[in-house]
Structures are given as structure tokens and as C-alpha cells.
Structure 1
Amino acid sequence: MSKKKNAELSRMWGFAGKRHWLTIASCILAGISTVLSIIPFVCIWFVIRDILYAMKKGDLSLAASSGHYAWLAVAFSLLSILLYFVALCCSHLAAFRTATNMKKEAMHHIVTLPLGYFSQNASGRLRKIIDDNAGLTEGFLAHQLPDLTGAVVMPVAVISLLFVFDWRLGICCLIPLAISVFFLKKMMGGDNADFMSGYMTALENMNKEAVEFVRGIPVVKVFQQTIYSFKNFHAAIEEYKKYASGYAICCRIPLTGFNITLNGTFILLIPTALMLFSAASGQADRQKLFLDFLFYSLFTPVCTTMMNRIMFASEQLMAAKSAVSRIEAILQEKPLKESNTQKQPKDASVVFEDVSFTYPGAKKKALYHVSFEVPDGKKIALVGASGSGKSTAASLIPRFYDVQEGDVLVGGVDVREIAKNDLMDQIAFVFQNTRLFNDTLLENIRASRPDATREEVMRAAEAAQCQDIIERLPNGLDTIVGSGGTYLSGGENQRIALARAILKDAPIIILDEATAFADAENEHQIQLAFEGLTSGKTVLMIAHRLSTIQDADMILVFGDGKIIERGNHDELLKQNGVYASMWKEYQTQIIWKVGTTVRKEENHD
């Protein structure tokens, strides 16, 4: 555990780069500032001593030297503040660089990870990990680290001073400090030491589910559901509540003991001083004891402040270590390996040879010994129930993941032996959930080929049946879409995604439920766009609407990760199996919808 903690701290300094020396300078200056901040208390004690002595003698001129101590107290206070200010300047500069480097390194690493990583890690969770944890580390380095350094240095100076004047009264002040350390260890050690990791995980999960909940608010309002409809969000809140309240309950007794002990120093100090005072042999001894008691009375609040700073700084250190470890976990994610002997595909054929695949962390296989072939220029459709493995199979072609068994070939070459950029140039993937950037429509389409001219973008948009979208937008292709601009419907988003794919002009097209969120009008437009997109291309189409795949050269029916039927539309209907049942059910749905529409029109007439 100690090595792990040291590694986290070492990594934290490493993120600072060339400015790590500013962190060291900050710690040194903060330590000196802490020592200097104690000296004014000693000076004040000397002032009180001289004044009491002068009053006893009845000659206030004897207290003339007290002014010297007063000015020393002011000087050391100002110097301590100045050094602390410089220490904070250094720590802030180092903290800003550290947080920036953490974000940069994490983002640079994330773009090297396979697309499958993002399907398993929601955007809300990744944002939380990178942004918030970098901010946590920045706050610790900028503010808490100088305080922590001071908290470490101060006990040495404090303990030394406690025994300078009267060791007996010093022990009275030291005993509560020792007991408070015991309570502090109870709060920060043991099972509580691992609390921060679980707490941050619960917070990230709650943030992720909150994003999903907010996105689903329109559905909630339409169907008049409550928050409990979103079981995952509710469960995430309960999990966070368990950690937050559990830690508070666990720390209530140690924290109470910590505060009582620190603030109860006088319970020992006053009785001890009275006993020593009564046992003193002479007036001089009593006078000295009284002055020593005044010093310890002045100094006790310093000890309390010191322990509170140690407690808060320790908590922040624990949080910062957890933050670094969480970002480090992202950096430890490995990109997919690339072969040293990279090959070029011979054509646009796709072959699965005895492929089996299991998602990371899953116990059950998603695909079991799947084999099929898509010849160059042919169209194949993958159908089946949700979770049957069809989308998984499609995602293995562009290497969202790598297979554990078998081979996936593109153009006769294993996809693991094709350079990443070359493989992506071969494939255009239209997702079920299309994402548009908060940018112009022109740049959204041009994302697939940044060097495309405006005319090429326009031709792709026309081929994707986007003319009506462009014509109704206030600035045509230059209209901003998304947040702060114009919002498009799900079907319109899909047509923009198809325009991207057409502009890319890749030889292999993968359509994953491309008409899933389209209404009847948009579906018709998308079907027309398919003709331009898929002409002469190798196509893998995943679809629930069976009408879109009747003309496929081959239809593969998936079930429980296996291909259970294969053939063209007519052949599968003759088999009278799963596909035939799906087709019959689909036809029934169409008849029901048409009948409903006719009755509505008759009633309207």
C-alpha cells in the first residue's frame, strides 16, 4: 500500500513536468512561513512578561523593551504572510500546469483507444473522471499542499517550544495532541482509507446516470413517469448516499473525540498549573510559573489550529491520490496492438472465420464460432432479437474490439494486420445513434473527409436526400446545428450521417439500424439515400424493419451469439423457421398500422 501511495504522489509530481520545482519551492517556503508564524506568539509572551515585571516594580519605563518585541512580532507575521503568498503563487503555477497536463495526457491517450472502449464508458463518466479529478488535483496542489507542508513542519516546532519553558505544562499540552492523533488515524486509516475510491466511483456513476436521466426527461414528461422509472439513476443515488452517509456515520465518534480532545487541553493544563503553583516554594517560582502558564494558554490555540490543518490536508491528500489513480486507470488502458508487418486489403470482401468474442468483464460469450463471407460488392443483412450478437459482429470489422478466437478478414487480410488508418479508410459506419457536432452543417458532413470541397459536400448531401433540410435552414449548409443552433429530428440526423458516409466513399458500408429513429417520411428519404450510398459497395446492414433487407444477397439470422439461419429472403421464408416467423409478425404489424390509419381517416371524413 505504501508503494502505491508513493507511486501516486510521484505520478502527481510527474504531471507537473518541468515546473515540478515550483511545487518543491512552494513546500519549502510554506514550511519556513509556518515556523515564522510561531515566533510572534513568543514575542507576545515576552511583551506580557516585561509589562507584568514593570507593573510589579511600579516603573513602566522598565517595559520599554516590550516595544521591540512587539515590532518583531509584526515583522515576523508580515514575513510569514509574504512567504506564504509566494508559496501559494508557486503552488498555483505548478497546479495549473499539472491539471493541464493531466487533461492533455488523458485526452491524447483516449483518442488512441478502440471505439469499443467508449461504448462501455459513458461520456458523462469519462468527463467526470478527467475534468473533475484534474480539478481536484489542482486544488490540492494549489492550496492544500502548502498547508500540508506547514502541518508537517509545525509539530516539530511546536513540540520543541512546548518543552522550552516548563516541561510539565508542555506534557499537559502534548497529551491531548497525542490522543487527537489516535482519533485522526481512526478517521483516515483502516477501511476509511479506501473510502475515497468507492466514493468517487459512486459519484461518477451518479453523474453518468444523471446525464442519461436529463436526456430522458421528455419521455418522462410525455408518459408522466417519475424519477423511479429510471432505476439506474435511483440506484446510483442510493449507492452515493451509502458512501456519503456511511463515511459520516463512521467518522462521527472519532471526529467528536478529535474535537473534544483538542479543545479540552485546559482540562489538564489548568489543574496542573494550580497544583504546581501551590507547590512552588517562593514568589519568584510562582511568578515564573504564572508567566509560563500564560505562554501555554496563548500557544494552545496554535496546537488546535495545527491539528485541524493536518486533518483537512490529510483528507484532501486522500482525495488527490484517488483522483490521480483514477486518471492513471484511463492512461493504463491499452490501445489495440498494431502488427509490425502491416498489409493492404486486396478488395472489399469481409470474412468471419470461426469467430468467438466476449466483452471485457463479461462471463458469457457474445459470439460463438461465427463464420460467414461477404464477397466484394455484395449486400448482406444481419437480423435477430436484441442481444443476439448482430451488432457485436459488425463492430468487430472496424476493430471496435479484437476477437479472442478466430479471424476477421477484410480484403483477405486479418484486420489486426491492417494499419488503423488504412482500415478506417476502408469502412464507413452509420450508427444507430447519430451524433452531430455543435458546428455548421457543412463541417458536420465534412467530418468524414476534412479536405472535401464545398461542392463535394453539397453533392453528398443531395445524394443523401438532404436538399429539403438544407433549403429550410436559415443559412443552408452554413447553419449551426446542435446547442445554440438549429436542432434536427432523429431521421434528419440519420440523413446527415448518410451524407457523411457518401462523402467518405469507403468501399465497405456498415449500417447499424440506420432507420431506427426515422418516421415514415424520413425512412423513405433514407431508403433513397441508401441507393446512392451502397451502389457497388460491400454492405452489412443491421435492421429490425425487414422491408429494408428483402433485396439483400444474404440474410444471416442471429440468436444467442450464433448464426441460426442463413439464405436470401425467399429461401428463409421457405425454411419456415425463425426468419419466417419474424416476417409474418412484421407483416401483421404493417397490416395493423395500415388498418388503424384507414379507420382514422374514415372517422375524420
Structure 2
Amino acid sequence: MDHDNSERGRRGGPKSATAAEKAQAREVSLARIGRLFTAHKLSLAVVTAIIVASSVVAMASPFLLRAVIDTALPRQDLNLLVWLVIGMVAVAAVTSALGVVQTWISTTVGQQVMHRLRTDVFAHLQRQSIAFFTRTRTGEVQSRITNDIGGMEPVVTSTATSIASNLTTAIATAVAMLALSWQLSLISLVVMPPAIYLTRKVARMRRAITVQRQRELADLNVTVEEGLSISGIQLSKTMGTASTLVERFTDSSARLIDLELRSELAGRWRMASMSVIFAAIPAIIYLSAGLPGTAGTLSIGTLIAFTTLQAGLFRPLMGLLNVGIALTTSLALFARIFEYLDLPIDVDDPADPVEIDPARLEGHVRFEDVTFAYPGSETAAVAGVSLDVPAGTTLALVGETGSGKSTLASLVARLYDPTSGRVTIDGIDLRDLRLADLAGVVGVVSQETYLLHTTVRENLRYAKPDATDAEIEDAARAAQVHELIAALPDGYDTMVGSRGHRFSGGEKQRIAIARTLLRNPRVLVLDEATSALDTETERAVQQAFDRLSEGRTTITIAHRLSTVRDADQLVVIDHGRVIESGTHATLVESNGRYARLAT
């Protein structure tokens, strides 16, 4: 398609805020995050029940310990001691078994949520129009799907169960402590207000750092994508910029080190001070138990059981505080993911599509007063274009680079929708057709050939997954590329390499032509499809097109007028408007723009 600077400028539009800045400004509701787990309510209920049961069972241990110290040992009751020890082992065994089951269920739920997030983002991006991808860096998109969603995994897979487990354990421990001594319990709980306050401060610090880190990861991805692709490597070697790319990558990686350190160390001193306070509580309890006013009021077994519980309370409380930090930090990641999921669909399936049989369409294409401006542009790329292309005829669009020829071709394939007017096939507005149905009607071969990193056969079968080997070879013969493929060491099973760089430009283009012809579309859009072919090969492919165009509507864009002079209708486009139309002979006779282009 036309990719001159002026047209790219129209497509780019004004510079907008970065995705990271938008994500940072957006607040994510916990309710929306919670809805990700709606489909797993039963599993989460089972996990919660297991956690409660495990916490209740675990609370028996300090009471068993008190009985051992205060009763079994002083009385030398061996039978009681044996049963108490057996009880301790049983409690450990039951809680361990329940923990394994809990981990299995919660991890399964978490991975299913991660799977849904990944697939939802990928599927939603597949529905985005070409305009989105022209203004978005490829590395940025990849970073959202891999780094951002990957960074959310610990939160998604363990947050819900961590909250339930730690909260239940903390509550059960607190109840057991109150049952042993409410006075000592008050001393233990005085640390809670400062702990909560410090946790909130640490969470806010880490969330801000997370936004910066994910933005830097996206930049790193872009550098990898641009510097290590086939095209990027070729460019850096021919321009001598390898050292510059390495320096750019090194600087970005160094900034990541700093951000990772800041993220890990954020609030560590604050949380370390809390650990010291929690560790000092048992000492205060021992001191309280030995004061003149309280001495002798507590048994040794009660004191040991209580301090054991108090030490056990530290773990779930810190766990809850750390979960709060992790959850707040992850909001920055959720914001970036939800930003993509909330992107509007510019070109989408209609709510009430027209049902068609692609094989029964004739392929009569009409442009009815079509105007289109690229997003962010105030100037129309095409304006007031009306064209009638009867079924089975050939329309050739000619004009200077940037005149709007490729824009018209994009509208036929519905890569964009007209700003006003409409494009129809057999009288049906393209916006009333499902995109999948339209793709079965309109086939496009452009000047930019993209081949997948797989075999030649699979590249061709990409257009028609159920195609037989015979159909694949017939399409290759029609595109004058069968003999080339057959001569390869592995024939049709030859790997094409990244983006098809194993083949020359002309060879890639013929493979792409074969791929489109395999679908047998009623309407062919050839956007300078033979631009990379030498004269002899171009002539052979053109003959194949001439044969295959019989009964098929063909819209051709070409700078070489020799390839389109036999078209049924020639249209000259200038600044998005039709300035001449007719056959080659009539346009030459009129001595207008076409005549000057033809000389």
C-alpha cells in the first residue's frame, strides 16, 4: 500500500499520552478484579473451607503443648503424654495434607484466570483496526501480554487464598490467645495500628515504582524487537549502528536494575522495624509475667502456649500486610491490561449481520461518495469517491505515491471504515457483513509480503486450513512458483525463515499470491502485487492473473502502467479524488494526467 511520509503522517495523528501514563492515571476497582474469579466461585468456596478447617485444626497444637507441660509431664502420665504427642503429629499431618489440596486448587484457579486474561487480551487486540497497530509499538503490545500479565501471576494465583489463609489463621490465633489470657492478648495487639499505617505507605511506594518498571520493560522489548529481527539486524549491519543499539539496550537494562532494587527495597526498613517490634513482644510478655503484680497468676504451660501462639500470629499478620502491598502494587499492572481490554473496536462485526454465501456472490463492487480521513488527521485521504466495478471486470487505480490508491484498496478489504459514504459488494454495505465472511470474499495481495516462520506448505495453508496438497500445488502453479518450491531440498516442507527472508522479494511475492489464490476470492485486490518481480516473471504472473480474473472482480494498483493498460476501467486518483476515468485508449486520447503518466 502507499506508505509515503505524507500518508503515514496522516495516520499517526497528534502525539498522545503514553500507555504507562494512562495506566498510572487510571484507578482499578477491586470489584473488577474480583469478577475475574466469578466463574470459580465453587472452587474458591472449597479452598476457603479447607483453609478454615486447617486453621481450626492447627489451633489445637498450643493447647496440646500446654497439656504436655502442665499436666502430662508433672504427673508423669505416660499414657496421656503418648496421646498428646500423637495428637500433635496428627494435627501436623492433617494441616499438611489440607495445604497440598488447597495449593492444587488455588493454583489451578489462578492459572485459569491467567489463561483467560492472556487470551482475552490477545483476542481483543486481534479485533483492533489497523489504525491501532500503526500508532502502537510492537514491543509495547508484547510487553503487555508477557511482562504485565506475567507480573500479575503471583497475585492472581495466590492472593485470594493468602488472604483467606492468613486472615483465618490470624483470627483463630487471636481467639486462642484470648482464651489463654486476655491481658497478654492486649499487649500483643498494640502493634497493629503502626503496622497497618506503615504497610499502606510501602504499598503506595511500590505501586509508583511498578509503573516505571513496566514502562522500562516495554522499552526493552521494543529494543529487542527492533534490534534482533531479521530486518533490524540487516539495518544495523548496513548502517553500522550495532554499537548504538547495544548501548541503548545496556542503558535500558541498567535502569531496570535500579528499578528492581528500588521495588524490592522499598519500605524494607519500615517493615524490618515492624519485625523487631513483633520479635520484642514475647520479651515484654515474659517481663509482664514476672512483675510482682502478675507473678504466679499464669502457669508455665499457659505462658509457653501463649508465646507460641503469639509467634504464630506474627506470620499471618505479616502475610496479610504483604498481600496488601502486593495487591496495591499489582493495580498498576491491572490498569495496563484493562486499558487494552477497554479499547473500543473501530472495525467490528455488525450486531445484525447479513447472511451470505461467499461462493454465490458475484463480486460487484461500488464506492458511493466515499470519504475517509485517518484518525487524528484533519485532511481526508480520499474524498467524495464514487466508482462502479461490475462483477468480473478489472479496475486499475493509478496515480502518484500518496494519492490515496491504497486507501481505497484498504476500504474494500474493510481494514478501515469510510468516514462517510459506503462501499458495497452486490449492493451489501461491507459494514453489514461479518469480517470473516468478507475475508472469504475479498482477497488482498500487497506490496509488503509477510510470511510466517514455518514451512512453505503451512504458509499457503494459512489461507485455507483444509486445503489439500493438490490444491496448494495448483495455486502455486498459477502463481508461477511451483517449480521453484519443488526444486528446494525439502520442497513444500522447506522452512521459509523469519518473515520469509530465505526467499527473494519476487519469490516471497509469488508465494503470497499463491496463498491468496488458494482461497479463490470473488474480489481480488492487488496492491502493487507484482512490484518485486522481474519483467519476465511479472509477465508470467500477469498471464496467470489474466486467466484467473475471468469471472472475478479485480482491483489493481500499480505504478507500472504497462501491467494495467488492458484493464476494463482505469481511474486516475490525485489527492484522494477521481480526476480521470476510462480505458487506456480513451485516457491517452484525452491527453490529461494519465497521458502524462503513460509517457
CA pair 293-155 structure 1, distance change in 2 beyond 3 A: same
- Answering whether residue 442 of structure 2 is matched by residue 427 of structure 1, we say yes
CA offsets, 1:497-539, max 9 Å, x none? Answer: 11123333434322334356x4x64x75245313422545544
Distance 2:429 2:58 in 1: 69
Alignment of 1:206-355 (within 5 A): 206-207=220-221, 210-215=224-229, 216-226=232-242, 228=244, 237=252, 241=255, 249=262, 252=265, 254-267=267-280, 269-271=282-284, 273-274=286-287, 277-280=290-293, 284-285=296-297, 288=298, 294-314=304-324, 317=327, 322=333, 326=337, 329-330=340-341, 334=345, 335-337=348-350, 339-340=352-353, 347-355=363-371
1:10 aligns with 2:25: no
The equivalent of 2:385 in structure 1 is 371
Q: Which amino acid aligns with 1:487?
A: R
| CA contact 1:147–1:313 (8 Å) conserved in 2 | yes
8 Å contact kept, 1:92–1:142:
yes
Q: Distance in 2 between matches of 1:201 and 1:113?
A: 22
Deviates more, 1:308-317 or 1:172-181: 308-317
1:532 corresponds to 2:544: yes
Corresponding residue number in structure 2 for 1:599: none
Aligned residue among 10, 30, 44 for 1:23: 44
CA contact (8 A) 2:570 2:581 kept: yes
Deviation at 1:106, TM superposition (A): 5.9
The Cα of 1:26 is off from its aligned counterpart by 1.5
Say if 2:53 is the partner of 1:32.
yes
Taking the aligned partners of 1:483 and 1:341, their CA distance within structure 2 comes to: 39
Q: Is the 8 A contact 1:180 1:262 kept in 2?
A: no
Secondary structure in 2 aligned to 1:434? Answer: coil
Q: Distance in 2 between matches of 1:186 and 1:527?
A: 72
2:278 aligned partner, one-letter code: T
Aligned length: 557
Is 1:396 the counterpart of 2:411 in the alignment? yes
Q: Aligned equivalents of 2:164 and 2:496: distance in 1?
A: 50
CA distance in 1 between counterparts of 2:553 and 2:539 reads 17
In 2, distance between residues paired with 1:184 and 1:371? 63
Q: Could you tell me which amino acid in structure 2 is paired with residue 12 of structure 1? A: F
Q: CA deviation at 1:76?
A: 1.1
> How far apart are the structure 2 equivalents of 1:514 and 1:351?
22
Closer, same or farther: CA 508–294 of 1 in aligned 2, 3 Å:
same
State the Cα RMSD in Å: 4.7
Q: Percent identity?
A: 19
1:50–1:63 Cα contact (<8 Å) kept:
no
Any idea what the Cα deviations from partners look like across 1:432-485, whole Å, max 9, x if unmatched? 433334554344334434565544433332231214422321233344544799
Query: Residue 306 of structure 1 aligns to which amino acid in structure 2?
Result: P
* 1:365 to partner: Cα distance: 5.4
The residue that corresponds to 2:512 in the other structure is: 497
Q: How far did residue 85 of structure 1 move?
A: 1.1
* Counterpart Cα distance in 1 of 2:252 and 2:397: 41
- 1:42-191 counterparts in 2 under 5 A? 42-49=63-70, 54=74, 61=76, 65-100=80-115, 129=144, 140=155, 142-188=157-203
- Alpha-carbon distance, 1:212 to partner: 3.5
2:523 maps to a residue whose letter is I
Alignment partners' CA distance in 2, 1:294 and 1:80: 22
Change (3 A) 1:567 1:192: farther
Partner residue in 2 for 1:594: none
Q: Which has the higher contact order (CA 8 A, sep 6+)?
A: 2
Distance in 2 of aligned mates of 1:245 and 1:352: 58
Find the counterpart in structure 2 of residue 601 from structure 1: none
| Structure 2 counterpart of 1:256, one-letter code | W
Instruction: In structure 2, give the amino acid aligned to 1:445.
Output: L
| C-alpha spacing 1:422/1:177, structure 2 compared with 1 (3 Å) | closer
What does the per-residue CA deviation read over 1:270-311, in whole Å, with 9 as the maximum and x for residues that have no partner? 3564366233365x23xx276655445434432332133224
The amino acid that maps onto 1:4 is: S
What is the one-letter code of the residue matched to 2:367? V
User: What is the CA–CA distance in structure 2 between the aligned matches of 1:72 and 1:303, rounded to whole Å?
Assistant: 21
Give the SS at the match of 2:514.
helix
Query: Could you say what secondary structure the match of 1:264 adopts?
Result: helix
**For 1:156-204, what per-residue CA distance to the aligned partner results, in whole angstroms no more than 9, with x for missing partners?**
1233234333444323322223322222222335x86687677656645
Q: 1:447 to 1:68 in 2, by over 3 A?
A: closer
**Does the 8 Å CA contact 1:349/1:374 hold for their aligned counterparts?**
yes
Query: Is contact 2:397–2:572 with CA below 8 Å preserved after alignment?
Result: yes
Q: Distance in 1 between matches of 2:266 and 2:463?
A: 60
Q: Distance in 1 between matches of 2:217 and 2:152?
A: 16
Structure 2 residue 523 is matched with structure 1 residue 508:
yes
